[in-house]
Every structure is written in C-alpha cells, then in structure tokens.
Structure 1
C-alpha cells in the first residue's frame, strides 16, 4: 500500500515528468503505462527518474489530487465577493467549464483512473470530489430556498451542471468553431436554465 504523495519541490523536471505521465495515462491508460515509458518520454532512465518521483502511483495521485485542488480553488475564486446567488452559480459553472476546456487530459484521467488509485490516495481524491460537488449543491440549495431557483432535486441538478464541464472536455478544441469564451458563456446560460432561473 502506498503512502500519501511525497511533497517534492515542483521544479521544471518534476513538472515535465508529471505532464509526460498525464499524457501517457490518457493515451494508454494507467495500467499499461510503465515508469520506463514515462522516463523514455522525458529522456531519463530509472535512477534519474526516481530522484524526482517515487512511483507511478505517486504520479497518478499527484495528478488527481492536484486537479481536484485546482477545481476547488477555482470555485472559491469564482464566487468570492459576490452576494447574488444566481451570479455565483453562473460564475462557478463558467469556471468549471473553462477549467475542463483547458485541462482535457486531467478531466479524462480523473474520470477513468479513479479505480487505479490505491489507498489512501483514493479516499483523498474522493473526499476532494465530494467537497467540490457539495459546493455546487450548497449554491443550488441556497438559491432554491431563496426562491431564485426552481429545481426538483438539488443532487441531480448539481450532477447535470458538473456534466457540462465533463462534456466540454470531450469535444472542445481551441481551433474549433466556437471560442473558449463563447462556450463558457453559453454553458453558463445552460447551468442557469438547469437551475430553473428565469
């Protein structure tokens, strides 16, 4: 059983290794990727690679916990200083979609490889994921109680809004017909409609 991710100085080499692992996990899957594959992608052999990272499991945990920490911070920044619950929901939904449009590989690996995490990493990631979902549900519940939202089920509405980001991660491309801002704004509208805002 692995221990929690080792806290290492996030130097440029460590970031390069993390990015190579992310790309390989997305392309081949965690199970089919070896540390030798990751080393080859950055031009490093075993002994040098292990100076920067302890294990493949540690890399996966760093990617997934880092992604959830980024999402939680993005949410907090998006809603900070805003009193209106409708505007907070729009800002949170737009930030959620924008993050997923910019971090497609993290979204893909985060969804597919949760089963590959060992303890305590799996519990750490699931706890962060639950906190993120709860933040959206708290917004929806507040708006419903204030009469600003008309929703049948807070839980299902939160899932539907969160799915907007996951969907954008699948299909959005920077060179597509729609700009990132266009996608984000329209998806913000979709989130408000899902919440029953008129």
Structure 2
C-alpha cells in the first residue's frame, strides 16, 4: 500500500522506532524479523542492519535489544526444540495407552511443523552456523526429542503392541516424515492441519506395525 501524499505543512515521515512496547514484545518482533530474513536470504547474508530495518530500528539502537544476529539464531533454534519437547510432554500426558501416546506425539509433531515452517526450515539449514556451545545445546535437545519417541516405541514392543526390528530406525522415520511437512504444506491446500496430523498419526502406527 503506498503512502498518502503529504500536505505542504506536514513533516516528511522519518523511520523511527515504533510506539511504546514492552521489552519482551520488542524482542519478539526482532526475533520474528530475523527468522523471516534467515529463511529468505540465509543467516550469513543477513546483517543486523537488515534486521533493524525490518522492525524500524536504526543502527546502534538495535543493540539495546539484542547483542548479535547469532544470539537471535541460537534463540530461534533452541526455542524450536524446547517447544517441540513441551508439546510432546503435553501430548502423552493425557493417557497411558502407548498406541495413543504415539499417535498424539506424532500429531503434535505434525502440527508444529505445519504451523512453524520457517522455524523448521531455519533450524535444519542453519545448524552449522551456530557456535559450538549453542550447537551442542540444540543437538542435545534434538537427541532428547528423538529419545522420547524411541522409548515410546520400545515400550510398545515390550507390551506386544508394536512390532519393529529397530525402534531407533522407526523413530527416525516418523520424525523425518514429519519434518518434511514444513517444506510443502500449504494452509489453503487440500487438508487442514488437523486432518494432516491425523493421517500422519495413522502412518506412524503403520510404521511400528501397531496391532
């Protein structure tokens, strides 16, 4: 939308910081702008100037809110894994049935990747750009997340509900097919997020040969 023509006595509009917002809201806006830029043009090609311009904050003022673009990348990627783990914990909390727990876990996994496509894309592409300490932190959370699925599948095998030769391979297969959703899912497409999640739940149960 184009700006309205200015009257002869109106001051030219100058980019400035938005109206009063809480530090948390400002930080969230900066992180979201960085996420979009990292997804579109890549982490290395994105500058702090780009991020500042996206949120209307000039130069040095941006550093009042965030120390570096690496800090933003680490925050995005760590936050993604923490949310996935939290969603998984919530998914299995309502039932003791291992079959239902796996289905609910997969549905939560699919919903996240369908609704947070940029986070998934950046998380998979930019892991190598994290400094070692932050990379180790993210990879540790990824291992924890995969372990939750693997242990669920192992429990299902022990209970005679699932039948797989390798719980690890089964968990990798289930997680990978869910991650792939982020690359193609379209909100306006054939299936809603919930319909998609339910179908992937069915596929996961077939992978583990659920009785």
Is 1:124 the counterpart of 2:144 in the alignment? no
Q: Which runs of 5+ in 2 are unaligned?
A: 1-21
Q: Structure 2 CA distance, aligned partners of 1:173 and 1:75?
A: 23
Contact 1:98 1:165 (8 Å CA) reproduced: no
Contact 2:52 2:62 (8 Å CA) reproduced: yes
Match of 2:116 in 1: 103
**TM value normalised by structure 1:** 0.93
Q: Deviations over 1:76-127 (max 9, x none)?
A: 0000031100000000000000011000000001101100000210111011
Match of 1:73 in 2: 86
Match of 1:145 in 2: 158
| Structure showing greater Rg | 2
SS at match of 1:50: helix
The Cα of 1:45 is off from its aligned counterpart by 1.4
Root mean square deviation, CA, Å? 1.1
After the TM superposition, which residues 46-61 of structure 1 pair with which residues of structure 2 at under 5 Å, given as runs? 46-61=59-74
Is 1:134 the counterpart of 2:147 in the alignment? yes
Q: Deviations over 1:151-172 (max 9, x none)?
A: 1111111011001221111111
Match of 1:6 in 2: none
**TM value normalised by structure 2:** 0.88
Q: Which runs of 5+ in 1 are unaligned?
A: 1-8
Is 1:41 the counterpart of 2:67 in the alignment? no
The Cα of 1:44 is off from its aligned counterpart by 0.9
Is 1:93 the counterpart of 2:117 in the alignment? no
- The alignment of Structure 1 onto Structure 2 pairs a total of residues equal to 190
Give every structure 1 segment of 4 or more consecutive aligned residues whose post-TM-superposition deviation is greater than 2 Å: none
The structure showing larger relative contact order (alpha-carbon pairs under 8 Å, at least 6 residues apart) is 1
SS at match of 1:89: helix
